[in-house]
Amino acid sequence: MEVPILKQGDFLIATIQAALTDADLMQLRSALVHQVVRVRSMAVIVDVTALDVMDSFATRTLREIAHMIRLRGAETVIVGIQPEVAMSMVQLGLTLEGVTTCLDLEEGLVYLNQKKAKSTG
């Protein structure tokens, strides 16, 4: 299942809507890395609210997405990690070090808009 990516102002928003296979995750990574420069986005938000499992592969792929987007000159914010998912990740020893996370999409947009205001103001 392909993840829809919407352009909203200076940001790209990828909203995961159902369980993803490894191939889906890799497709998302590739799509974001290509699109972020094509549409000249400052930042990418990946909304993982619908993900009920984040295993080592999903975590690693999200971290790779954030690092690749940074190399492309933009920022990534992961939003919507569910409480049970966070607990499982910690117990498994999975981390998203160096990746910005926010509670939900709303918080993610507030964070990025504040950052944008600071850099342009």
Partner 1 sequence: MPEELSLPIKSDADIVVARQKGRALATDLGFSTTDATLIATAISELARNIVSYARAGQIALKAVMRGSTRGIMVTATDQGPGISNVSQAMQDGFSTSGSLGLGLPGVRRLADEFQIDSKAWEGTKVVFKKWNV
**Residue 64: φ, ψ to 5°:** -65, -40
* Residue 32 tokens, joined: 């974001």
- Residue 30 contacts partner 1 per CB under 8 A: no
Positions in 76-105 near partner 1 (CB under 8 A): 82-85, 87-89, 91-94
- Residue 120 contacts partner 1 per CB under 8 A: no
What strand order describes the sheet that includes 100-102? 5-8, 11-15, 43-47, 75-79, 100-102
38 or 97: whose CB is closer to partner 1? 97
Sequence letter at residue 104: D
Query: Which positions touch partner 1 (CB under 8 A)?
Result: 19-23, 52-57, 59-60, 82-85, 87-89, 91-94
